[in-house]
Amino acid sequence: MKFFVDTADVAAIAELNDLGMVDGVTTNPSLILKSGRDILEVTKEICGIVSGPVSAEVVALKADDMIAEGRKLAEIAPNIAVKVPLTWDGLKTCKVLSGDGFMVNVTLCFSANQALLAAKAGATFISPFIGRLDDINLDGTDLISDIRTIYDNFNFTTEILAASIRNANHVTQCAMIGADVITAPPPSSKASPRMC
Q: Which residues are identified as catalytic? A: 83
> Cβ neighbours of residue 133 under 8 Å, at least 6 residues apart?
110, 139, 140, 143
| Closest listed residue to residue 74, CA positions, set 60, 51, 89, 55 | 55
- The number of angstroms, rounded, from the C-alpha of 105 to the middle of its chain's C-alpha atoms is 6
Q: How many CA atoms lie within 13 A of 34 on its CB side?
A: 8
CA 178 to CA 17: how far, in whole Å?
A: 23
CA 113 to CA 123: how far, in whole Å?
A: 14
Q: What is the DSSP string of 1-19?
A: -EEEEE---HHHHHHHHHT
> Cβ neighbours of residue 164 under 8 Å, at least 6 residues apart?
129, 130, 131, 132, 140
Alpha helices in the chain (DSSP H): 10-18, 29-34, 39-49, 63-74, 88-99, 112-120, 130-135, 140-153, 168-177
